[in-house]
Amino acid sequence: MVLFFPIQQELDCISGSGHILGKIKYDGSKNVHSFCPDNESTVLSDIEVSIIVERLSGLDSGKYSISMQDDD
């Protein structure tokens, strides 16, 4: 049996206009995903917040997944 544990699980969050809003990262010690803004001055619209919150809950529930990166 071989088990694979992803190390680099992140998703870039990009606005419709192409600006990087931040990253969704996985915290293995808490077993949850969290949003980390690109910088402190990033202001998210209500729609962007709701989309990110939906994605976070979907990742935590298993509805969505983040592909593992193969560094070989």
pLDDT along the chain (72 residues), means of 10: 48 83 87 89 88 91 78 54
Report if residue 26 sits inside a domain: yes
What's residue 3's pLDDT?
A: 37
Query: Which pTM does this prediction carry?
Result: 0.78
> Does residue 20 fall inside a structural domain?
yes
pLDDT for 8 equals 64
Bridge partners, 22 (sequence order): 13, 37
Total structural domains within the chain: 1
Identify the pLDDT of residue 15.
Answer: 83
Q: Domain span at residue 50?
A: 10-61
Rounded to an integer, what distance in angstroms lies between the CA atom of residue 51 and that of residue 56?
Answer: 9
**Which residues neighbour 10 within 8 Å (Cβ) at sequence distance 6 or greater?**
23, 24, 25, 26, 66
Domain assignment present for residue 22? The answer is yes
pLDDT of residue 1: 28
Nearest to 22 by CA among 12, 30, 8: 12
